[in-house]
Amino acid sequence: MDELSHWIDGARVGGTSGRFADVYNPATGEVQAKLPLATAKELDHAVARAAEAQRGWAATNPQRRARVMMAFGRLLNENMDRLAEVISREHGKTLPDARGDVQRGLEVVEVCMGAPHFLKGEFTDDGGPGIDLYSMRQPLGVVAGITPFNFPAMIPLWKMAPALASGNAMILKPSERTPGCAMMLAELIKEAGLPDGVLQVVNGDKEVVDAILDNDTVQAVGFVGSTPIAQYIYGRAATNGKRAQCFGGAKNHMIVMPDADMDKAADALVGAGYGAAGERCMAISVAVPVGRETADALTDKLTSRIEKLKVGPYTAGEDVDFGPLITSQARDRVRGLIDRGVEEGAELVVDGRDFRMQGYEDGFFIGPSLFDHVTPEMEIYREEIFGPVLTQVRAASYEEALKLVMDNEYGNGTAIYTADGDVARDFAHNVNVGMVGINFPIPVPLSYHTFGGWKKSAFGDLNQYGPDAFRFYTKTKTVTERWFSGIKDGGEFNFKAMD
Ligand code: NAD
């Protein structure tokens, strides 16, 4: 069995704590590696070394730093299949999905090739007599990225690329369930020219996260994960005087209006609800058909499509629709929530609880489920299920559907399917959710926009990637200056002084 390591000062380094986490292959249920869990002392050492390395990196001009991003981008492209294989083996997602995970992270690296543009400051000429003002963006120092299991390439890249391109050093703490990809990213960015120590990968659990939050040298924390942990990290980081942006969980609704193209809406719901086994923060987990006829038609179309979904291990070929859940606990939790939905009176139209994957009986598989007649009081509506379960809440009108979305405590993504531009525009304008799709089920913004939810889906300020990321990972300094020699008060040029 493999024993994994940390990445410190440009090399793999074993752990000293004697504590390890099991890393599973979710398709087989086997433990495939042991991951060392760092102590606070190991973290403090990694931070101190990063602080030393950061000084030289910050003094490297932005264009040179951008060239490291260019080389890194090329290497990510060349190693796409290798990275995808590691992601699929640890996470269970299909290979096309794993390649998409790398691709969406790579797109953020590509935008960071334009770091000099994002980092250039502002200038006011003659703000007063002979007075100029300029502002510059300076790196924060050592920053930390704490990431979830479900996008082992994309989210670490969302954190690393803008932080490093801005001249910071980063402590990356990947999920202990899918750590392999982060180590490969560290190796590739070293090959691309990043100096040793500027990126440190420290593996661990709560102990190391708390050590990050309490370390005085760490200036900022970028977190992505579940809402309770996001809220905890935001609170502790802010109390300790750090800049923090913490992105949390989601419950994303898709409204289907009576005038929508019902086949397209059903296709979209199946892809967005069951893709990656529902383990996406932008998955659609609630369908909201408007009107009884819409709901009945949608249920029929969804049911026939769901029955054709192919569940399997990533090794079974590219036509597999989704794989297992991340752990046996995650699978049991999802099964328990489905049981609860039945007890609470929702109609279980498709039941995936008893699905068994032949030849992979110990894997963490569960089949797709569909609930109809769900109400907002039910646990399956209130909880983020994070599994292949789509729930349908019927609404009598657009206003009722909109109110449902607005009243939900999460606000990551949402979508509407309609042929009516007025309704779509009203929805986009009024809904209190950060990312909105119009006839588009998973509206993850492209990498030169920014990504972020509202309400309990995000704590702190500014979004991830795009221009916001450069703002988050830098602080602004503004200089007001004037020069006395050769200038008369009042701003006229003193020609005599030139003689
Ligand atoms: P998680 O909250 O369990 O873990 C995220 C990170 O926090 C991991 O690195 C983990 O080691 C650490 N952590 C876990 N428990 C901790 C504790 N008690 N104290 C300190 N640190 C702790 O999340 P997950 O299960 O890995 O990921 C799934 C969640 O992430 C879902 O809720 C999903 O919606 C969310 N997510 C959100 C976004 C977004 O951008 N909003 C993107 C992807 C995933």
Q: Model's pTM, two decimal places?
A: 0.96
Burial category of 394 from C-beta neighbours within 10 Å (exposed 0-12, middle 13-18, buried 19 and up): buried
pLDDT in tens, 244-288: 999 999 999 999 999 999 999 999 999 999 999 999 999 999 999
- What's the 228 CA to ligand 1 centre distance in angstroms? 9
Q: Which of 229, 326, 459 should be mutated for ligand 1, with most atoms under 8 A from CB?
A: 229
Q: pLDDT category, 485, cuts 50, 70, 90?
A: confident
Q: Residues 125-129: what's their mean pLDDT?
A: 95
pLDDT in tens, 375-432: 999 999 999 999 999 999 999 999 999 999 999 999 999 999 999 999 999 999 999 9
- Would the pLDDT of 498 be above 60? no
Query: For residue 434, what pLDDT is reported?
Result: 98
pLDDT in tens, 285-343: 999 999 999 999 999 999 999 999 999 999 998 899 999 999 999 999 999 999 999 99
Q: Which ligand 1 atom is the nearest neighbour of the CA of 451?
A: 40
Other beta carbons within 10 Å of 84:
24
Query: Which residue lies with its CA nearest to atom 42 of ligand 1?
Result: 281
- For the chain, the maximum distance between any two Cα atoms, rounded to a whole number of angstroms, is 94
Q: Which ligand 1 atom is the nearest neighbour of the CA of 233?
A: 20
User: Is residue 150 lining ligand 1, measured as CB closer than 6 Å?
Assistant: yes
pLDDT in tens, 176-224: 999 999 999 999 999 999 999 999 999 999 999 999 999 999 999 999 9
- Would the pLDDT of 499 be above 60? no
- What's the 489 CA to ligand 1 centre distance in angstroms? 59
Burial category of 291 from C-beta neighbours within 10 Å (exposed 0-12, middle 13-18, buried 19 and up): middle
Query: For residue 281, what pLDDT is reported?
Result: 97
Query: Residue type for 367, please?
Result: G
Q: pLDDT category, 366, cuts 50, 70, 90?
A: very high
User: Is residue 146 lining ligand 1, measured as CB closer than 6 Å?
Assistant: yes
Rounded CA separation 196/53 (Å): 7
pLDDT in tens, 57-67: 999 999 999 99
Q: Report which of 197, 167, 202, 164 is spatially closest to residue 10, judged by C-alpha positions.
A: 197
Other beta carbons within 10 Å of 30:
12
Query: For residue 486, what pLDDT is reported?
Result: 59
pLDDT, averaged across the chain: 96
Rounded CA separation 80/106 (Å): 10
User: Is residue 226 lining ligand 1, measured as CB closer than 6 Å?
Assistant: yes
User: Is residue 249 lining ligand 1, measured as CB closer than 6 Å?
Assistant: yes
Q: Which of 93, 150, 326 should be mutated for ligand 1, with most atoms under 8 A from CB?
A: 150
User: Is residue 148 lining ligand 1, measured as CB closer than 6 Å?
Assistant: yes
Rounded CA separation 67/376 (Å): 51
User: Is residue 281 lining ligand 1, measured as CB closer than 6 Å?
Assistant: yes
Q: Which ligand 1 atom is the nearest neighbour of the CA of 247?
A: 41
Please state whether beta strands 2-3 and 20-25 pair in parallel, antiparallel, or not at all (unpaired).
unpaired
Q: Which ligand 1 atom is the nearest neighbour of the CA of 204?
A: 11
- What's the 249 CA to ligand 1 centre distance in angstroms? 8
User: Is residue 147 lining ligand 1, measured as CB closer than 6 Å?
Assistant: yes
As given in the structure block, the two tokens for residue 376 are: 């907002």
Query: For residue 1, what pLDDT is reported?
Result: 80
- What's the 79 CA to ligand 1 centre distance in angstroms? 26
User: Is residue 360 lining ligand 1, measured as CB closer than 6 Å?
Assistant: no
Query: Is 281 noted as a catalytic residue in this protein?
Result: yes
Q: Residues 36-42: what's their mean pLDDT?
A: 98
Q: pLDDT category, 135, cuts 50, 70, 90?
A: very high
- What's the 471 CA to ligand 1 centre distance in angstroms? 23
> Which residues have CB under 8 Å from 1's CB, separation 6+?
31, 32, 33, 34
As given in the structure block, the two tokens for residue 43 are: 């973290």
List own/partner pairs for 328-332 with CB under 8 A and 24 or more apart. 328/29, 328/364, 330/364, 330/386, 330/387, 331/364, 331/365, 331/366, 331/387
Q: Residues 105-129: what's their mean pLDDT?
A: 97
CA 222 to mean position of chain CA atoms? 10
Q: pLDDT category, 496, cuts 50, 70, 90?
A: low
